[in-house]
Amino acid sequence: MPGRSAQLPDSAQKSDTFTGTVWADPVLPATDGVVINTVFFAPGARTFWHHHEHGQILHVLAGSGLVRSDGGPVQPLRPGDVVWVPPGERHWHGAGPGSYLVHLAISLGTTVWAEEVAGAQGAGPCPM
């Protein structure tokens, strides 16, 4: 029988691998290495550096934010944007300094968490 949202745990505030206030709501039970969450980031909140075994899809639902791959520029996130992060690509994402961000995160395979994003790594020119 297919998984149903009624079988999901409650929302969870994230803290071990996030900076700032972040809430995650499971959309479906984790199945076959696929985890789907709706994630709310308060202004300025973001993930630590991390990568996904088989990649990640981010679909921005509301607010505005930022995403950055290691060694790349900071890129804006706006409602309707869909971002593909390739397998193994180290990155972070979160809300911009003046807005909340809500995105659907589809994580494929194991997520490997790394260190907190240092100040200069989260800054830089961004065409917001």
Separation of alpha carbons 91 and 82, rounded Å = 15
**pLDDT score, position 118:** 87
What is the rounded average pLDDT of the residues 74-93? 98
- Return the structure tokens found at 120: 């200069």
- Alpha-carbon Rg for the chain, nearest whole angstrom, is 14
* Structure token digits, residue 49: 């550096």
Q: Is the separation of the CB atoms in 42 and 21 below 8 Å?
A: yes
Residues above pLDDT 70, as percent of the chain: 84
CA–CA gap between residue 56 and residue 87 (Å, rounded): 7
pTM of the predicted model as reported, rounded to 2 decimal places: 0.86
pLDDT given at position 13: 72
Q: Of 33, 45, 50, 35, nearest to 102 (Cα)?
A: 45
Do the strands 65-69 and 91-95 form a parallel or antiparallel pair, or are they unpaired?
A: antiparallel
pLDDT band at 73 (very low <50, low <70, confident <90, very high): very high
Rounded Cα distance, 82 and 65, in Å: 12
pLDDT (tens digit per residue) in 18-45: 999 999 999 988 899 999 999 999 999 9
pLDDT tens, position by position, 51-64: 999 999 999 999 99
Q: Which amino acid is at 78?
A: R
